[in-house]
Amino acid sequence: MAIERTLAILKPDCVRKQKIGEVLRRIQEAGFEIQAMKMLTMSKAEAEGFYAVHEDKPFFDDLTDFMSSGPCVPVVLEKENAIADFRDLIGATDPDEAAEGTIRSDFAGSIQENIVHGSDSPANGQKETAYFFAEHEIVANQ
């Protein structure tokens, strides 16, 4: 299996619930290496840009309101098979369908406010990383 990068975001609900430490602990214990991290509040336009793939969905306006509602924590993670393994760690989008013991099952309040984002392919991992981080902000490149 190849070493991959995925872009995680600890979403505004994770920050409001004071779960940054707990979620990062689980991520690190699962073997992911943190390559970059920052805290910021997305503007509505930035959230719309990040989730542009969902612009035709009925939940797009609510989702981008939520994602721009307060600080979030984008994190670049590296690991063998990172994309699939991270999605296994966080669980299904809807916390009611997420497997027991996953981050979303344990902490998410709803299908929208589901604590964490994870990239769905290596190509999107690269693209989403570049949305938040310059090359020199990623430790492996320093």
Nearer to ligand IDP, 37 or 95 (CB): 95
- State in angstroms the smallest separation of the CB of 92 from ligand IDP: 7
Positions in the binding site for ligand IDP (CB under 6 A): 54, 59, 63, 93, 111-112, 114, 117, 120
Write the binding mask 9 to 38 for Mg ion: x where contact by CB under 5 A, - elsewhere.
Answer: ------------------------------
Rounded CA separation 94/104 (Å)? 8
Residue 26 and residue 73: Cα distance in Å, rounded? 15
Which residue in 142, 22, 131, 134 sits closest to 67, CA to CA?
Answer: 131
Q: Which residue is nearest to Mg ion (CB)?
A: 120
Residue 120 backbone phi and psi in degrees, to 5: -105, 0
Closer to ligand IDP at the Cβ: 125 or 139?
125
Q: Which of residues 104-123 bind Mg ion (CB under 5 A)?
A: 120
Instruction: Tell me the residue type at 87.
Output: R
Tokens describing residue 8? 């995680």
Binding marks (x or -) toward Mg ion, 79..98, rule CB under 5 A?
A: --------------------
Least separation in angstroms between residue 108's CB and Mg ion is 14
Q: How far is CA 15 from CA 8, 9, 36, 78, 85, in A?
A: 14, 10, 17, 22, 23
For the bound state, the minimum distance from the C-beta of residue 139 to Mg ion, rounded and expressed in Å, comes to 25
- Output the furthest CA–CA distance in the chain (Å, rounded): 41
Shortest distance (Å) from residue 63 CB to ligand IDP: 5
Return the active site residues: 117
